[in-house]
């Protein structure tokens, strides 16, 4: 549900680390949740986001499952019969499963404790992902900066011709 692989142990309420049995039970529960009906809509929404993306040869650092998950959460589309799909919470696991289903390659990473990190990178163009992010999350600070820079360039060009 939360990504790919099995994540490392987590701290419990009083600062103690969970035991291997508790960690195993948590991961089993996450897998069981991943097979629920609610994940189907997350998977379909993720597929809709990934549809216009063409794979690249190299796996790129800017094409992370974490960023794509947030893009998917803000994406709105409709089913062929007209029902709306999105925006809604999308799990990292559903996004990764949709990307693998769509034929993208991925790279996993291991943290210093030798546990799998839950997020992966894909063979997708970073520029297209930035544009999707700009389209789906226009109120983010970096999107506002992008608009401001474009406006400055436009004004600079206008001022150049009026001199």
Half-sphere exposure at residue 75, Cβ-oriented, CA atoms within 13 angstroms? 26
pLDDT in tens, 113-148: 777 888 999 999 999 998 888 888 888 777 778 778
Q: What is the pLDDT of residue 138?
A: 81
Establish if 2 belongs to a structural domain.
Answer: no
Establish if 39 belongs to a structural domain.
Answer: yes
Establish if 8 belongs to a structural domain.
Answer: no
Establish if 117 belongs to a structural domain.
Answer: yes
The C-alpha atoms of residue 5 and residue 113 are separated, in whole angstroms, by 14
Nearest to 31 by CA among 69, 2, 9, 73: 2
In DSSP terms, 84 is beta-bridged to 78
Establish if 100 belongs to a structural domain.
Answer: yes
Establish if 146 belongs to a structural domain.
Answer: yes
pLDDT in tens, 40-85: 999 999 999 999 999 999 999 889 999 999 999 999 988 888 889 8
Establish if 7 belongs to a structural domain.
Answer: no
Domain count, the chain: 1
The C-alpha atoms of residue 89 and residue 16 are separated, in whole angstroms, by 30
The C-alpha atoms of residue 149 and residue 129 are separated, in whole angstroms, by 19
Establish if 95 belongs to a structural domain.
Answer: yes
Domain, as residue range, for 35: 20-161
Query: Global pTM?
Result: 0.81
Contact between residue 56 and residue 47 where contact means Cβ atoms under 8 Å apart: no
């Amino acid at each position: 549900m939360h990504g790919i692989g099995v994540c490392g142990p987590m701290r419990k309420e009083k600062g103690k680390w969970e035991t291997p049995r508790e960690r195993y039970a948590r991961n089993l529960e996450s897998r069981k949740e991943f097979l629920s009906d609610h994940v189907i809509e997350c998977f379909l929404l993720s597929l809709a986001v990934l549809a216009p993306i063409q794979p690249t040869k190299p796996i790129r650092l800017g094409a992370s499952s974490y960023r794509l998950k947030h893009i998917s959460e803000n994406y709105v589309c409709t089913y062929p019969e007209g029902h709306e799909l999105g925006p809604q919470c999308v799990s990292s696991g559903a996004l990764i499963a949709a990307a693998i289903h769509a034929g993208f390659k991925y790279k996993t990473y291991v943290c210093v404790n030798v546990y799998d990190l839950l997020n992966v990178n894909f063979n997708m163009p970073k520029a297209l992902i930035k544009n999707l992010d700009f389209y789906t999350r226009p109120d983010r600070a970096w999107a506002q900066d992008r608009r401001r820079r474009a406006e400055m360039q436009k004004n600079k060009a206008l001022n150049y011709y009026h001199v």
